[in-house]
């Protein structure tokens, strides 16, 4: 778990009216990451069920993400962060998430892209924003984001909502991008001064592309399209497309 990923989940939990129970897939808390890897505290007052392929810290229920033993349309909130790169049958896993997500339910996904190999139970994939957008296409709403340089991001994010998409989704999504941007700026400001100084000095000897990646590290971009449910007195739905850039 990385601090930017925790900030992503925290921003979504603060802005969207998420219902419980909250199911997290890939909830095993790696030793030494208890302070950042346990996401339960971000969802106060809601039942939280941590699922993973193995028993251990943070795991309430053992589940194979590619073959969930959970009923269709039953989970109002799903969290799956830093996990899909470890699932060999990644398409089947996302299909299972979509299957169990309740109508109007929200799913939060993150996956590393420009990141070192980390091996449990294996490190199989690096998923692009367009890949996540395609995998989540059956949902009523899909918003994908990335952090860093657009052509080579270090982290890829996705938010999805199963149809019918609530009318508040678009407005809340705008608030979410603002909240996430604020949290990223706070993380940047909290960097130790030694790290900042080292980055500036070494930047003098780096290529233009490397300097650009450093400068864009805390910058996120989001794009999405969705159909929003409307009151019966209006059109039944409207297509909305948006691009949000967090500086």
CA angle 156-136-30, nearest 5°?
Answer: 50
Tokens of 134: 């395609």
Residues 188-198: tens digit of each pLDDT:
999 888 777 76
What's the CATH number of domain 3-246, 1.10.10.60, 3.40.50.150, 3.40.50.360, 3.10.150.10? 3.40.50.150
DSSP category for residue 86: G
The answer to whether 218 and 187 have CB atoms below 8 angstroms apart is yes
Residues 138-187: tens digit of each pLDDT:
999 999 999 999 889 999 999 999 999 998 998 899 999 999 999 999 99
**How many Cβ atoms are within 10 Å of 32's Cβ, its own excluded?**
8
Whole-number percent of the chain with pLDDT over 70: 86
**How many Cβ atoms are within 10 Å of 78's Cβ, its own excluded?**
23
Mean pLDDT of the chain: 87
34 pLDDT band, cuts 50/70/90, is confident
DSSP category for residue 199: H
* Residue ranges covered by each domain of the chain: 3-246
Residues 56-110: tens digit of each pLDDT:
999 999 999 999 999 999 999 999 999 999 999 999 999 999 999 999 999 999 9
- The label of the residue with tokens 């990644």 reads 90
Nearest to 244 by CA among 210, 220, 213, 227: 220
Taking the CA atoms of 212, 217, 219 and 224 in sequence, report the sign of the dihedral they define. Answer: positive
Residues 119-139: tens digit of each pLDDT:
766 888 999 999 999 999 999
Q: Is 109 in a helix, a strand, or coil?
A: strand
Residues 20-32: tens digit of each pLDDT:
999 999 999 988 8
Q: Alpha carbon of 30 to those of 6, 18, 132: distances in Å?
A: 14, 26, 25
pLDDT, residue 143, reads 94
- The label of the residue with tokens 């809340």 reads 172
Q: Which helix (H) or strand (E) holds 158?
A: strand 152-161
3-state secondary structure 44-82: CCCCEEEEECCCCCCCCEECCCCCCCCCCCCEEEEEEEC
Percent helix, percent strand, percent coil in the chain, to nearest 5: 35, 30, 40
Q: CA-to-CA distance for 3 and 33, rounded, in angstroms?
A: 10
48 pLDDT band, cuts 50/70/90, is very high
């Amino acid at each position: 778990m990385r601090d930017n990923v925790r900030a992503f989940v925290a921003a979504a939990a603060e802005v969207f009216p998420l219902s419980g129970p909250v199911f997290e897939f890939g909830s095993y808390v790696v030793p030494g990451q208890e302070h950042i890897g346990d996401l339960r505290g971000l969802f106060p007052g809601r039942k939280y069920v941590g699922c993973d392929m193995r028993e251990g810290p943070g795991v309430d229920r053992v589940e194979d993400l590619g073959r969930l033993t959970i009923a269709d349309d039953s989970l109002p909130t799903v969290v799956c962060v830093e996990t899909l790169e470890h699932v060999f049958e990644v398409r089947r896993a996302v299909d299972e998430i979509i299957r169990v997500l309740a109508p109007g339910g929200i799913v939060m996904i993150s996956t590393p892209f420009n990141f070192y190999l980390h091996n449990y139970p294996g490190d199989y994939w690096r998923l692009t924003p367009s890949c996540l957008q395609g995998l989540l296409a059956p949902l009523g709403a899909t918003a994908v984001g990335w952090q860093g340089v657009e052509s080579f991001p270090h982290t890829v994010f996705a938010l999805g909502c199963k149809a019918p998409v609530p009318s508040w989704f678009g407005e809340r999504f705008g608030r979410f991008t603002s909240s996430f941007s604020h949290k990223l700026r706070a993380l940047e400001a909290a960097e130790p001064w030694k790290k900042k100084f080292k980055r500036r000095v070494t930047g003098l000897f780096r290529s233009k592309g490397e300097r650009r990646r450093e400068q864009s590290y805390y910058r996120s971009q989001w794009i999405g399209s969705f159909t929003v449910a409307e009151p019966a007195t209006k059109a039944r739905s409207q297509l909305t497309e948006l691009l949000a850039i967090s500086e």
